[in-house]
Amino acid sequence: MRKKHCGLEMEFSWGIGQEYRRLLLSLLFLATWKVGSGQVRYSVPEEAKHGTFVGRIAQDLGLELAELVPRLFRVASKGRGDLLEVNLQNGILFVNSRIDREELCGRSVECSIHLEVIVNRPLQVFHVEVEVKDINDNPPVFPGTQKNLFMAESRPLDSRFPLEGASDADIGANALLTYTLSPSEYFSLEKPSYEERVKRLGLVLRKPLDREEAPEIFLVLTASDGGKPELTGTVQLLVKVLDANDNAPAFDRTLYEVKLLENVPNGTLVIKLNASDLDEGLNGNITYSFSTDILPNVKSKFYIDPITGEIMVKGYIDFEESKSYEILVEGIDKGQPPLSGHCTVMVEVGDTNDNVPVMEFKSLSLPIREDAPLGTVIALISVSDLDSSVNGQVTCTLSPSVPFRLVSTFKNYYSLVLDSALDRESMANYEVGVTARDGGSPSLSATASVSVEVADVNDNAPAFAQPEYTVFVKENNPPGCHIFTVSARDADALENALVSYSLVERRVGERALSSYVSVHAESGKVYALQPLDHEELELLQFQVSARDAGVPPLGSNVTLQVFVLDENDNAPALLLPGTGVGAGALSQLVARSVGAGHVVAKVRAVDADSGYNAWLSYELQPVAGGARSPFRVGLYTGEISTTRALDEADAPRQRLLVLVKDHGEPALTATATVLLSLEDSGQAPKASSRASTGAAGAEAALVDVNVYLIIAICAVSSLLVLTLLLYTALRCSAPPSEGACGPGKPTLVCSSAVGSWSYSQQRRQRVCSGEGPPKADLMAFSPSVPDSGDREDQQPAAEDSLSKVSV
């Protein structure tokens, strides 16, 4: 019998050796790290000393040592983050603190530390898996150091007495246990088969017991693991031989399997057990209880009714805490000595969708520039769900109408990337909501949001409200007068929106533009640096530039047309024959024989101003002494004619004072002196004839000039009206701005049906618009041919009898 026992032990040890060899080969195959599917893998044994080399992580990830610090190389891991560390000087991953595989992963076959290596500029994430290799650092442990067994001496041979085996916190070969029993003639050891789902260990009775011969039997059970070196654990077995009660309770089955959903309420029935005893009376009366070898967490979760054998829930059942429970149950009769039967209840916990997905933003690269290229990584998001199967499968979605998308990078990791172009001026900030939803029914979800700020770039030039402005300024303005303010708006932000103004320099005639006007760089106020003269400069056209402070700066221009309005600052100037423009007297010979209404002389004058300011009227000053003069002057023609026939009583020398006055406010005047010499017709017939002939020739020439001038004025007026209509159509939405100097409104004056024409200004006027030739201002009066019968002056029908035409 001893030989048979030893043969069984050798066979059991050989099976363990084969299994150990396969596991060892697998571990050697996995000992080398590999790069694949975007993941770097290393391995390190548990309990390795501080500083133990793990791998050249920087080199394996394709990173240069010099860029680790500038790119903010960092390592993050779930749970305890101080187990492994990276030396930034040489890029080596090393052990930083004690690694206990059993504390880290428990009984899990696979145990790895998942690291996330994050670098910036550009933002990248690498996934590194460090497998923690098990070493044989935990010996087998029995639930107690001694176990008491009560056996009736009447128990038949081959009766089995179950024993609680030892546990080993290690895994693999280090946790493969073999059991040996100290030599005994009464018992042999029943060892578990590795094909069995529940490993059975027990004593088998090989020799009948005799209480009188051996009331107590001491045995030692030893458990040895498969590690190198081998570790062992022992428990002392004290078998007490009992008398009488021959039949032990027996359960229907030795193994019961039950499925139970997590989160069931307390009091839920798990299973009702039933055991039978062939004895009668108290020897057949069975009470149910948990075995003394049951684990504490089982006792805290379940309760067994000692009378009915019903097992019920009394604690919180959580699939994520434990996926199964092994309950050892005893049925003990009330005989003397009491006998017991045993069974095992395997409770499989079913998962329900009771855990909400968890999201975590690992890294944020904010703010993001509005010119960032598509695909730019903005954030890294990790999601997890403690449930299993479909209940733990999580999908992530984004809130609608945002220019971003989620890209799955590795398992439950997502990258938030730019999906379409950004424009800070349209939207400066996005509230991006991320929803994680599992696949359970009903599904559970979690939502997190991140505020994505868009950083400005200088992509908008300053813009004016309109491309050009028209400004009216009165001449003779004070130096430094504010005439207009330009304003441009930049849609960018911060320094990209800071606008400064400047003149676009050019030449205005012989002088620089900056000698006429200036613009304040910050406010955009335009100032006239010197008094403007309408007679010198009617139109000043220039451009103002607006530039922002971005890099590179952007800008735009606006055109200003400054019209200089006329003021009555020029008095009428007399045109006297032989003397030109200036002071002097007009002398004329007049025959006494002339009749009433005869034109004897004409006073001519011009005014350098324009419009009403250049519209001249003539008045004859009263004669000294109150005598009535035989002469009169045309109000608008300046022609001096007789009011009656001259006679001998009239003085031979007549001195007339003609007041020439414009229509400005206030009016300016000039006085012309006309000296008339009265002669008898017989004394100077030739002179009179010559004078008459010269007057007729001059009058004919004047009529010819009037005709040509009227034709020219009509043509130019038509062109001006067409230009004004086009200009008004283009500028109807933009009323002309007035400067701070208070420019007046332009006045349109129409000519009267009476009177004659005259030049308002004979010199050419310069219009400084930068384009086209200079212009000339004309004062146009409706011509009238004098009639010998009626030379009385007529007043104009209205004050708007004068028209200014700009050519």
Domains 146-242 and 358-455 share a fold: yes
d(CA 72, CA 120): 6
pLDDT at res. 800: 35
pLDDT at res. 724: 83
3-state secondary structure 702-753: HHHHHHHHHHHHHHHHHHHHHHHHHHHHHHCCCCCEECCCCCCCCCCCCCCC
d(CA 279, CA 276): 9
d(CA 12, CA 542): 107
- Tell me if the domain spanning 40-133 has CATH number 2.60.40.1930: no
- For 697, other C-beta atoms within 10 Å of its C-beta total 10
* CB-CB contact of 560 with 468 (8 Å): yes
| Fold (CATH) for 146-242 | Immunoglobulin-like (2.60.40)
* CB-CB contact of 140 with 165 (8 Å): no
The order of strands in the sheet holding 599-602 is 599-602, 639-642, 631-633
Among residues 512, 517, 471, the alpha carbon closest in space to that of 742 is found at: 471
pLDDT at res. 34: 37
pLDDT at res. 198: 53
The CA distances from residue 462 to 121, 425, 488, 498, 734, in Å, are 32, 13, 6, 9, 20
Q: What is the pLDDT of residues 744-786, one digit of tens each?
A: 333 333 333 333 333 333 333 333 344 433 333 333 333 333 3
Place of tokens 């991140």: 450
Give 156-173 as a DSSP string.
PTT-EEE----B-SS-GG
The order of strands in the sheet holding 481-485 is 481-485, 525-528, 517-519
pLDDT at res. 11: 30
pLDDT at res. 790: 39
- Average confidence score pLDDT of the chain: 80
pLDDT at res. 260: 94
| Fold (CATH) for 463-565 | Immunoglobulin-like (2.60.40)
pLDDT at res. 715: 82
For each successive 10 residues of the chain (807 residues), what is the average pLDDT? 34 37 40 46 91 92 90 82 87 91 83 88 87 90 90 85 87 87 92 62 89 88 90 93 80 94 94 90 90 89 95 94 92 88 94 92 88 92 90 91 90 90 92 93 92 93 95 93 95 93 91 93 94 90 94 94 92 76 74 89 91 91 78 92 88 90 91 89 46 44 59 82 82 50 38 34 38 37 36 36 29
**Which CATH architecture best describes the domain 358-455?**
Sandwich (2.60)
Instruction: Quote the Cα angle for 333-339-341, to 5°.
Output: 85
Task: Parse the chain into domains and list their residue ranges.
Answer: 40-133, 146-242, 250-350, 358-455, 463-565, 573-679
Q: Which CATH number fits domain 573-679: 2.60.40.60, 3.30.420.40, 1.10.357.10, 3.30.390.30?
A: 2.60.40.60
pLDDT at res. 745: 38
| Fold (CATH) for 250-350 | Immunoglobulin-like (2.60.40)
Whole-number CA gyration radius for the chain = 60
Sorted by sequence, the CB contacts under 8 Å of residue 718 that are 6+ apart come out as: none
The CA distances from residue 497 to 430, 500, 693, in Å, are 22, 10, 78
Supply 292's token pair: 């003394």
Asked, as a colleague might, if the bond just before 666 is cis with ω within 30 of 0, I would say yes
pLDDT at res. 396: 92
pLDDT at res. 799: 34
